[in-house]
Each structure stands twice: as structure tokens, then as C-alpha cells.
Amino acid sequence: MMKQPDSGKCKGCAASSDSKLEKLGVKLGQADFVVALAGNPNTGKSTVFNAVTGLRQHTGNWPGKTIARAEGGFSYNGKKFKLVDLPGTYSLLSATEDEEVARNFILFGRPDVTVVVIDPMRLERNLNLALQVLQITDKAIVCVNLMDEARAHGVSIDGRGLARDLGVPVVLAAARQGEGIDQLLTEIDDMANGRSSCTPHRLKYDIPTVQESIEELVAALTDAFPTMPHREWVALRLLEGDPRIIQAVSTGEIGTLGEDHVATGTISACGN
Ligand SMILES: Nc1nc2c(ncn2[C@@H]2O[C@H](COP(=O)(O)OP(=O)(O)OP(=O)(O)O)[C@@H](O)[C@H]2O)c(=O)[nH]1
Ligand SMILES: [Mg+2]
């Protein structure tokens, strides 16, 4: 069992940052930053989304509730943030229809910050997605939600140790009670504005032949899709034979996945 960290923030501290938060609902206008909420199903992403935007995106205690992107806004410290609530996904490699919405936005939607919401009672499975996200971005925050349930089950989380091992900020939260939301907003604000930097844990592909093949594919992808982000990730999927990615590359769709998702963003949440 891991040691309970001294996170430095508590339920009672919310007032200090509440004054900096303005929930904008769907009335956002031009945002300064885009923040994605990613995570396994049922970890509380929509609950975080609602707490911060004031919207009422559907939540429930069964998996798979969010099936399309929902967008809402908030202002914090004078900057406007668009928050994107994504369907739950176990992996960036899996591709049911809902998961593809999440994966396409994380990879090609160019979020300024990606918050990965994880369940402390299913750490191993949840960290799989977190580590995949850390492979592709150094602007990520891990939010360990459902901490009230974890405590009730005698599970404690060493937030500082996890942050050190992952190389990104970790926030412990119980979003339904508003616990940890203030600290999450501070971390998002710091990261979006470049006041915090991180060095995420990354796997290295140091087998020379694999590395050479990746470099060759990245060069070809750069020629074909000069503005596409995460070309190394796409190259790895091509090497693995991911059928959906092979199809998207051969049809050229891969170059527009991010644009599609920005253009067709769904505002499925309802205002207060
Ligand atoms: N006890 C407790 N329950 C929570 C907390 N956060 C969310 N929940 C509950 O967990 C359930 C799932 O929450 P959602 O916000 O819908 O989870 P989600 O990650 O959006 O789920 P998907 O859209 O299916 O991926 C709901 O019943 C929430 O009320 C929390 O911090 N503590
Ligand atoms: Mg949801």
C-alpha cells in the first residue's frame, strides 16, 4: 500500500481558486487554450467537466456514457479555456467508434493540455492509457479521481511518488465532492501558460532496425502530410499493421482527422 501524500490542498481550500474560476458553459467564444479530458470509462471525466464548466454533461455509474465529444468553457486567471470531454478509452491503440473519437482528438486535435483522469482502484489498467498519452505529449496532467472511494476501501496513493515516476503533475481528486478541482485548475493553468514543464516517462525503441524503419516512415509521412502531428506514433502503427491507420494513411484521411474533429465538435452538454 502506498503512502498518503501531503498534497497541500484540501476540500476546504477551494475558495482561494474559486474566485479565479468563471464557469462559462457553452458561451466561450475564442479560447486561449484547449484542454482534453481523457481516461478509461467511468473514471469521472464528465464529472470534472461539469464541475469546471457548469454544464450538465450526462454522468452515471455505468461505462460508456459519453459517446461523442462535448465541449464547454471556463475562464481561469483571466484566460479562456475550452474543455473537451471525451468518451472513455482503454488505449490509444483500440478503436471502437467511441474510442476512435477520443483517440483522434488526443492525437490530432492539438490540445494544449491533456488531463488523464484515472481510477486509483484500477491503477494498472488506467496507467496503460496514461503512459500511451505520455508517449505523445509532454503537456499532460494525471488526475487520480475517486479518491473518496479509494480511501473508503483503504487504498492510499503516493501522489508525489507517482508524479516523480511518471514525470508529470499528479492531482488527487474526488470530483463529485469538488475535492482537488482547485489544484487541477492551477496545474492546467501553469502548464498551458508554460509556467510548468515536465519530462514524461517514455519508452525508447532502441532496436536499430526498428528505429531506422520509424525514421524512414516519418520522413515519408512528413512529405505527404507536412502539418500532421505525432508522425512517429503513426509510423509505429503502420509498422504494427493497424488496419484503421493504414486505411487513413492510404486514403489521405489521416491528414484531416484533427481538423474534422475540431470542425464537428459536438456541444452535447446542456446549460444550467
Ligand atoms: N464517489 C465518487 N464518485 C464519483 C466521483 N467522480 C465521479 N463519480 C461518479 O462516477 C460515475 C461515473 O462518472 P462520469 O463522470 O460519468 O465518468 P466518465 O469518466 O465521464 O465516464 P464515461 O463517459 O463512460 O467514460 C458517476 O456516477 C459519478 O457520479 C468521485 O470523485 N467520487
Ligand atoms: Mg463521460
Q: pLDDT tens-digit profile of 169-182?
A: 999 999 999 999 99
Our mutation pick for probing the ligand 1 site, out of 46, 57, 85, 171, counting the most ligand atoms within 8 A of Cβ, is 46
pLDDT tops 80 at residue 140? yes
Our mutation pick for probing the ligand 1 site, out of 47, 117, 118, counting the most ligand atoms within 8 A of Cβ, is 47
Listed residues: CB within 5 A of ion ligand 2: 45-46, 66
Among the ranges given (63-77, 183-197, 250-264), the one the predictor scored with the smallest mean pLDDT: 250-264
pLDDT, one tens digit per residue, over 214-231 is: 999 999 999 999 999 999
Grid cell at residue 199: 519530462
Q: What length does the chain have?
A: 272
Q: Where in the chain is the domain with CATH 3.40.50.300?
A: 33-192
> Which numbered ligand comes closest to the C-alpha of 89?
1
Predicted TM-score of the model (pTM): 0.87
Ligand 1 center to 86 CA (angstroms): 13
Specify the CATH number of the domain 33-192: 3.40.50.300
State the pairing for strand pair 70-76/79-85.
antiparallel
Residue 38 pLDDT class (50, 70, 90 cuts):
very high
User: 227, 228, 250, 246: which is closest to 237 by C-alpha?
Assistant: 246
Grid cell at residue 169: 503533475
User: CA-to-CA distance for 105 and 114, rounded, in angstroms?
Assistant: 10
Does the Cβ of 235 fall within 6 Å of ligand 1? no
pLDDT tops 90 at residue 28? no
User: 185, 171, 179: which is closest to 22 by C-alpha?
Assistant: 185
Per-position b or e across 96-114, b if 16+ CB within 10 A of its CB? eebbebbbbbbbbbbbbbb
User: 150, 97, 84, 154: which is closest to 123 by C-alpha?
Assistant: 150
Ligand 1 center to 41 CA (angstroms): 9
Task: Note the pLDDT of residue 100.
Answer: 86
